[in-house]
Structure 1
């Protein structure tokens, strides 16, 4: 397969600047050589035992007890850990306080953890866990949102947001459409599964190695379960083999379970889920069910919209509240909705408790409005791109059409020039004509193409998480060590932070080292999520380095008899009016003169605020934008589909590291493509997840990536004061893959037209071959 085509617009930097350069990922060489240790590579202490979970085989029932006698007779088995072994609160310290550590008097889904088996080896523990018999009396299970709404089965109360008068907007509309949509969930499928290793320390203290995006929360959860103070628990994480949101909250479960076992058996405990158990236990991206009524005029301009979202939350709240809220925030995507009413039902079902996933509800908001835009265009016989462009927010921030339905001004809208650029660069109109000609000559293979935009808000919707801390240590040899509250999961956060610090101190990147996340160094750190890892931690590290730089500048200014403002740092040198000296030499001299060479930095995102009761205000610091043009083909006989070409234009602001940002765009797009094409989660009528292994759950492979995969970064600095003028790049590209879904719907529309069928294309997501065939036959 040919390598994807990539393009980067040049970034203006000084000759010695590190920020803006495509520096190699800090762990890349070690990863290629197999020398980058992950948690399961951490050397185990003598006496380490291994745990495996005891799982419910019933989706809902009354738990009377467990019989572990057969398991305890097996070779190497040391014992079991159950609810009675919890010294602290038996309910996890999650926001909703509604999820037991182990099943209590009831089980709520197939795969719920009832307890652990502890043994001398991993396989002994796993084999024994399957011999434990749970005494459960089945109860009726709720497995779909229609039943949940009818029975008022919710993990959280419904939420309603409106602007204007949706009923009036619909009544005056020239045309109206009603529709429904089912969008499935998605398994995180990280390369490194969920894992924790807990080591008892002296005086009831605990060291927790966790593959987690949120070490601070793991610390809180473990302390809560053990009944100790947070100061007695240290959580460390050097790197993860992928997270994607699946390790934001749910890594905490394994850490708690391991800690309880470590306490009972007074020895180190490792718990690593195998892939099947990981599927059965952990939550996924939330599936959504939608109903809508939309009114529009002859040009495709929306005049009224009533939208219902039913969120498949699973058995507990987890992060379903903020996920569902963000879906509401992003139900507009790039479009002004004058009269709109949105109702969100957070449904309690007897399945795994669904959790964060890249985009955090944003994709589920964006896909429904993009589906509506496609339906309007098809109904009117217009180019879908023109209908989308007709509904864009105004670029003039003072316009009434530049205010979202949650009352935030869109002050940085650059979608129109981006759309014009991608339309021209991708030869959209010419290719559209060629596709039309192809489809007219071919009845079996039909092609489709679509351009879809993304406007994605950047900040945690839980405002308290928009803060970060960092430490910067300059050693006497001039080398620099940085520690911050973020976590590295392959996305290049540590590389970008090191670049920022290197530039702040004017030293080569090789002189800066970022160390493992550690709750004993930076406390109360937020999760690395919401695409804000660099925004928060990079700016905190910059502030910390800036304090050290100021100390050195004042010291050199005293030597040079000038003001500190005359001192500059670049190229490994410190410059004054009287000359330049090596950074390393100045540091050594400063130490001899008792100048502080380390400092802390703290950053809190400015300007953000909103009313959680009404979901109105400014929940986001800024928006990141992007567009994708995707061409596909479908086989009308089999329903199979193939992505033929992808062109992406993404707004990364002034990129800190273009190579890493392009990698994130590519990876996010392909992961989004998987969500909408091949990655299907299926629960049967007993509540069993039947797609729980690579044999039945299909993520995209290299053969699914087209030869033409062009990514270009739109070169305009962030209009807000963000670190380096950059913008977030983790989550927004994921939603660009909705262009794949819309291109498929356009191909299906062409085939249906040839068959003499009318009406909008109804395509359930993911667009598997089966779903494509069903759509063709409706």
Structure 2
């Protein structure tokens, strides 16, 4: 059984089984115009037919060069000597580029100027770029790079969180949030617990790897096609490396084959090298990294060690909690400051901790610089809290759901987070109650216990966990977006904005917003590639804010044009403006109607501007680092999931049997797209927590650098019984675009229910006599070790 449901305006439909005519009828009953309709992704047909054009599909211009980047084989070493003469002499080689060839700054970092394009004198991780070869083919470039003669002098290397903690190797200053006096609250509590959880990183494993194609222009100009979530950052980095003004660099991206945060800061390196080669040689240059090199060279989700202490009463109510988070950042800062901050912001998840201290250390290691990943630290912050509540419930012999319920943020406000933002929009209690009922959680929990009593080898577990995720960039200045809308004489519309399309459906959602404003059919709105030449100074498409920011900016631009049309019609026909009403594909002017194209044509002939920019900045958000307090989030997105799992106690193998998800997207702009994001987010989170294990050897070399050694979830790992519903009562209290809520990142953390369910199953293997010590990811090896450890502590032979 597999169900994906839309619950909208009190009605539930099974989307996959609904006939097309019924979907169309449902769409007609939805909010008129573009929004609230379950419209297919604008590139869906092109995706499945192979017609969608990615960077590597752009026809190559004559003379295009192909690049290969040579990288360090050592984790930390001084480069004693490097001889590139054999590389330059190799067949097909046109240019060899190293640090000395950079006319501007040898840096591709997003913030701290600590990430060189090419290493100079010292290498700090195995996989760091040393030089690049431009040749007539990729094969020639790779073969030539292998001819370099490099001598290293090895230096001590810090590879793990524990290594860095022992060496006091802080890459960035620590940060702390405090609410009340948690130490005193813990000391005074009737019960106390402490523990540690370690959570691994995760590779983005986007379908389209890192790639850039640079075309030199006149003078200093260069056009860069980049697979990036942050065109403006790539533009700025390329300009910085070339030593030119930003206006000389144009970055364009129509679509990405996945991003997940891995294409926020990391594409800058590849774009800079391609642009450097193009300007040095005067020929187009393409840098397409193969999967192995991509995984070795690019950053991952940060792995964490989190030590915790908690005091609580007999009901499981938390009196005080302390979390000590330690994040492995890698050799450079990248975006680690913001990621570690968000892990702190989400240490409470959906729970009113009342008294809490969250301390964060951001550690330097001689491994690849870790970077943004879907959730941006939030998942790492939440997992420790869920571990705490599972441990508290086990210690009290209570259902973990009851303990979670005892700690939820109350509806209606009155409670504040550890960073002192009041939570005024909590719907978590209501959503969990609804999901508990619809999923049959209580009866299924009893059934799981009954199954375990009669099954000596296979054990089941079940868990219901919530999600509360803050929406906004925590770097306040990034909460801005621009858009450009043209209405042509025939009534068709050209739309451009600063958001990027990585498969998540942003483009179609924003187009629906514009169609809604003009009340025209969606196919009258042309979606165009993101380019720094049209909308400048954009923020990354990240932080789940793509629709919120770009949708509002596009709405503002479209409303400006509509306002001009209304003013024109009112003046021409001598009517008050409230008598000009936009209807589907037409406009009522007094008692008469004309088509939208006809009104546009009249406005054009009367010299009315039919083009407008739009801008949006999220209001009222701020954060003071000195006091660790403020309102960093505009609103919160909520969700909950029930996962039921089975483990094999002889092998450690595990499988999710069923998942029930209820997720809040406010008033959905596009239920079909949102359902896809919820399902995909959950599955990606499941991969992070169960199968995706990164492993470096003692020399600091990543050994899980290909599908043969790194296991992402496949269609076979999807639960056979998966029931997803959009919460029918959802409505954003904040003034977002048509009262919708962000959906990109929050669903990933619904997979925490699967991890907690595995913990429950491991406890069953020890007859519920010992609480499992299980870290993430819960690979078969870790599950088997946790089973054996729990049984030993429970007194089994």
C-alpha change, 1:67 and 1:673, in structure 2 (3 Å) is same
> Does residue 52 of structure 1 match 2:63?
no
Could you tell me which residue of structure 2 aligns to residue 774 of structure 1?
785
Could you tell me which residue of structure 1 aligns to residue 8 of structure 2?
10
Conservation of the 8 A alpha-carbon contact between 1:213 and 1:245: yes
Aligned equivalent of 2:558, options 530, 538, 545: 545
Could you tell me which residue of structure 2 aligns to residue 295 of structure 1?
311
- Superposed CA offset, 1:266-309 (max 9, x none): 21110010000001100000000111111111111111112111
Could you tell me which residue of structure 2 aligns to residue 729 of structure 1?
743
Aligned equivalent of 1:502, options 512, 515, 529: 515
Aligned equivalent of 2:281, options 265, 270, 281: 265
- Superposed CA offset, 1:417-462 (max 9, x none): 1011000000001111111110000010100000000000000001
CA distance, structure 2, for counterparts of residue 725 and residue 492 of structure 1:
18
Could you tell me which residue of structure 2 aligns to residue 278 of structure 1?
294
Deviation at 1:130, TM superposition (A): 2.5
Could you tell me which residue of structure 2 aligns to residue 618 of structure 1?
631
Conservation of the 8 A alpha-carbon contact between 2:201 and 2:694: yes
Provide the secondary structure at the position in 2 that maps to 1:8.
Answer: strand
Deviation at 1:96, TM superposition (A): 1.3
Deviation at 1:261, TM superposition (A): 1.5
Could you tell me which residue of structure 1 aligns to residue 26 of structure 2?
none
Aligned equivalent of 1:674, options 675, 680, 687: 687
Could you tell me which residue of structure 2 aligns to residue 707 of structure 1?
720
> Does residue 443 of structure 1 match 2:456?
yes
Conservation of the 8 A alpha-carbon contact between 1:455 and 1:623: yes
Q: How does 1:458-473 map to 2 (within 5 A)?
A: 458-473=471-486
Deviation at 1:93, TM superposition (A): 4.8
Aligned residues: 770
Aligned equivalent of 1:416, options 419, 429, 442: 429
Aligned equivalent of 1:246, options 262, 268, 276: 262
Could you tell me which residue of structure 2 aligns to residue 91 of structure 1?
107
> Does residue 79 of structure 1 match 2:95?
yes
Range that drifts further, 213-222 or 549-558 = 549-558
Conservation of the 8 A alpha-carbon contact between 1:11 and 1:20: no
> Does residue 762 of structure 1 match 2:773?
yes
Provide the secondary structure at the position in 2 that maps to 1:351.
Answer: coil
- Superposed CA offset, 1:114-154 (max 9, x none): 11011100111122222323221100000122221232212
Provide the secondary structure at the position in 2 that maps to 1:737.
Answer: helix
Q: How does 1:321-720 map to 2 (within 5 A)?
A: 321-397=337-413, 399=414, 402-715=415-728, 716-720=730-734
Provide the secondary structure at the position in 2 that maps to 1:646.
Answer: strand
CA distance, structure 2, for counterparts of residue 283 and residue 640 of structure 1:
28
Aligned equivalent of 1:229, options 215, 235, 245: 245
Could you tell me which residue of structure 1 aligns to residue 15 of structure 2?
none
Could you tell me which residue of structure 1 aligns to residue 37 of structure 2?
21
Conservation of the 8 A alpha-carbon contact between 1:446 and 1:750: yes
CA distance, structure 1, for counterparts of residue 749 and residue 147 of structure 2:
44
Could you tell me which residue of structure 2 aligns to residue 163 of structure 1?
179
- Superposed CA offset, 1:576-608 (max 9, x none): 222110001111111011111111100000110
- Superposed CA offset, 1:501-535 (max 9, x none): 00101110010011000001000000000000000
Aligned equivalent of 1:134, options 139, 142, 150: 150
Deviation at 1:70, TM superposition (A): 3.0
Conservation of the 8 A alpha-carbon contact between 1:458 and 1:531: yes
CA distance, structure 2, for counterparts of residue 630 and residue 14 of structure 1:
32
Q: TM-score, normalized by length of structure 2?
A: 0.95
Deviation at 1:75, TM superposition (A): 1.9
Deviation at 1:319, TM superposition (A): 0.3
Range that drifts further, 182-191 or 709-718 = 709-718
- Superposed CA offset, 1:82-107 (max 9, x none): 00001011123521111111111110
CA distance, structure 1, for counterparts of residue 290 and residue 507 of structure 2:
28
> Does residue 749 of structure 1 match 2:784?
no
Deviation at 1:111, TM superposition (A): 0.3
Conservation of the 8 A alpha-carbon contact between 1:93 and 1:220: no
CA distance, structure 2, for counterparts of residue 234 and residue 15 of structure 1:
38
Provide the secondary structure at the position in 2 that maps to 1:740.
Answer: helix
Aligned equivalent of 2:134, options 104, 110, 118: 118
Deviation at 1:36, TM superposition (A): 0.9
Aligned equivalent of 2:201, options 185, 194, 219: 185
CA distance, structure 2, for counterparts of residue 220 and residue 183 of structure 1:
34
Conservation of the 8 A alpha-carbon contact between 2:222 and 2:279: no
CA distance, structure 1, for counterparts of residue 533 and residue 705 of structure 2:
37
Conservation of the 8 A alpha-carbon contact between 1:284 and 1:355: yes
CA distance, structure 2, for counterparts of residue 394 and residue 28 of structure 1:
41
Deviation at 1:556, TM superposition (A): 1.4
Deviation at 1:15, TM superposition (A): 6.2
CA distance, structure 2, for counterparts of residue 615 and residue 575 of structure 1:
53
Conservation of the 8 A alpha-carbon contact between 2:694 and 2:702: yes
- Superposed CA offset, 1:697-731 (max 9, x none): 00001111122111111122101111011000000
Deviation at 1:50, TM superposition (A): 0.6
> Does residue 209 of structure 1 match 2:225?
yes
Deviation at 1:661, TM superposition (A): 0.0
Deviation at 1:30, TM superposition (A): 1.6
> Does residue 316 of structure 1 match 2:332?
yes
Conservation of the 8 A alpha-carbon contact between 1:11 and 1:655: no
CA distance, structure 2, for counterparts of residue 473 and residue 617 of structure 1:
39
Conservation of the 8 A alpha-carbon contact between 1:500 and 1:538: yes
Provide the secondary structure at the position in 2 that maps to 1:585.
Answer: helix
> Does residue 61 of structure 1 match 2:77?
yes
Provide the secondary structure at the position in 1 that maps to 2:219.
Answer: helix
C-alpha change, 1:773 and 1:93, in structure 2 (3 Å) is closer
Conservation of the 8 A alpha-carbon contact between 1:245 and 1:358: yes
Could you tell me which residue of structure 2 aligns to residue 43 of structure 1?
59
Provide the secondary structure at the position in 2 that maps to 1:212.
Answer: coil
CA distance, structure 1, for counterparts of residue 735 and residue 293 of structure 2:
44
Structure 2 unaligned blocks of 5 or more: 11-28, 790-797
CA distance, structure 2, for counterparts of residue 698 and residue 56 of structure 1:
25
Conservation of the 8 A alpha-carbon contact between 2:33 and 2:520: no
Structure 1 unaligned blocks of 5 or more: none
Could you tell me which residue of structure 1 aligns to residue 47 of structure 2?
31
Deviation at 1:752, TM superposition (A): 1.1
